[in-house]
Structure 1
Amino acid sequence: MAGPGPDEVLAGAFEEQRGRLVAVAYRMLGSRADAEDAVQEAWLRLARQDAAAIGSLAGWLTTVVGRICVDMLRSRRAQSEVSYENRLPEFVVTEDGGAAPVDDALLTESVGLALLVVLDTLRPAERLAFVLHDMFAVPFAEIGQIIGRSTDATKMLASRARRKVQNTHRPADEPQQQRAVVDAFLTAARSGDFEGLLRLLDPEVTWRAHTAHGVVVKLGAAEVAGRARLGAHTAVTARRALVNGEAGIVVWGANGKLVGVMACTVADGRIVDILTVNDPARLASATPPPG
């Protein structure tokens, strides 16, 4: 019986790389659909190549996906009419306590929503250098070939991106620690316990709310605690969830309609960043666990 033909072998080799390529593209683009499009475009380009002339398929595909993502980011920036400071990446909501689907777990591992928001503030070349080197350990020399920069210039891009990320985003605690803090926050908010909320919030916490009327930002523990306490007596149902792999909360109204999603970043035992989505148009793109 004849074995698989060259096309089948190439397709199988590509499928082995697909998960990693989608993870790279998702971190670059902040959108599952755009990431899938970028990887599909890489496949189309691969199909037009002489596969025998490709030394390292993994390296070749990473290079191609990287270039596609940079082009997509540049095009997005050129066409965008809204500030990138206020752009919200696509978010993934999964049930907390149950096993997430494999593909969602791949996408959300170590890429919380707050980090995606920070990554969106980087220039395309900075983002590529940071994502490929710091998240996927791609050598600077290879990254430089993708963006047409020297190795030293690429190192500088990654260093600049790293400083921006570190200045606005702190590494999150372990999932169990995150959940304990967010559960305590939810309990304190439900009871209107202002002092309890203050103990759970970093003094410089930021709360960014995406509403139907724009983005509202609250800074500092006292202001954030005051906002959280406002929901103490509202007729809503709140339940734990995972938002891009980090501890979060989903909220339903009395009519059973989804009214909000909250993502929390916990570092050193306190909440340092809260991002909420209350805009119905944005919520429509999420698929939360059942209420």
Structure 2
Amino acid sequence: AHPETPYGQEFSDLVVTPDDDPAPDEQVALADSVGLALLIVLDSLTPSERVAFVLHDMFAVPFHEIGHILGKSTDAAKMIGSRARRKVRATDRQGYAGRQHREVVRAFHHAARGGDFEALLRVLDPNVKLTVDTPDGIVVTLGATEVAAGARMFSGEVGRHRPVLVNGIPGHMSWHPDGKPLSVIAFTVTAKRITAIHIVVDPVKLAAIHLPDPV
């Protein structure tokens, strides 16, 4: 670990909001809502995209018939259907990535609070970078072994803490026992491994961020 020069505005524009992702047992109950989720995605498509996607991908209607319904050529109907399919798949990938990100972050905190060094190494990328914004400047730690050793500080975590969204990405926040903000943590996850962790513990910078209330 070594001091580094400040990196300007990297943490100045953080948007931190509560992460109200449902608990595992609630997720089971939500499994029956897949049909509703698809309807929500379809609702984001244009009328032509919705018709092309539903008729072709769900009911196997040929594109020349879809084109006739839409008043378009067969090639134009194919392009509309392809555009709709890309939107649906992109939405699905984003949802999957968000769930996967949460799972990795939860595994990290479970291992850190339990002091499980081996479990930490499994969830950290070998070249993970930990950046901590402290009152005395920026401190950077590189490598899974070094970061895992430092992460064990969570094993003695006191006060209150909760999952949050940091700029829309699952992260974590902690408060002192008296309710004052202690830290905001943002994670970068790639291929089911944490590749970067950014932590803000500088009280001045924490005070400049609009933060959720402790649970």
Unaligned runs of 5+ in 2: 22-95
Q: Is 1:275–2:170 an aligned residue pair?
A: no
Superimposed CA distance per residue, residues 139-188 of structure 1 (whole angstroms, 9 cap, x where no aligned partner): xxxxxxxxxxxxxxxxxxxxxxxxxxxxxxxxxx8111100100111111
Count of aligned positions: 136
Cα pair 1:247 1:265 within 8 Å, conserved: no
TM (norm. structure 1) is: 0.44
Cα pair 1:265 1:271 within 8 Å, conserved: yes
Q: Is 1:223–2:146 an aligned residue pair?
A: yes
Q: Which has the higher helix share?
A: 1
Shift of residue 84, structure 1, vs aligned partner: 6.1
Shift of residue 193, structure 1, vs aligned partner: 0.7
Amino acid at match of 1:88: E
Q: Percent identity?
A: 43
**The residue matched to 2:105 in structure 1 has which SS?**
helix
Q: Hey, what's the Cα distance between the residues in 1 that align with 2:174 and 2:112? A: 13
Q: CA RMSD in A?
A: 1.9
**The residue matched to 1:287 in structure 2 has which SS?**
coil
Amino acid at match of 1:280: P
**The residue matched to 1:199 in structure 2 has which SS?**
helix
Q: Hey, what's the Cα distance between the residues in 2 that align with 1:258 and 1:85? A: 22
> In the alignment, what sits opposite 1:88?
10
Amino acid at match of 1:219: L
Q: Which has the higher strand share?
A: 2
Greater gyration radius: 2
**The residue matched to 2:155 in structure 1 has which SS?**
coil
Shift of residue 286, structure 1, vs aligned partner: 1.4
Shift of residue 97, structure 1, vs aligned partner: 2.2
Cα pair 1:250 1:288 within 8 Å, conserved: no
Q: Hey, what's the Cα distance between the residues in 2 that align with 1:247 and 1:231? A: 18
Structure 1 pair 83–227 and aligned structure 2 pair: CA distance change class (3 A): closer
> In the alignment, what sits opposite 2:163?
240
Unaligned runs of 5+ in 1: 1-81, 99-172
Runs of 4+ that moved beyond 2 A: 82-89
Q: Hey, what's the Cα distance between the residues in 2 that align with 1:192 and 1:274? A: 18
Amino acid at match of 1:97: D
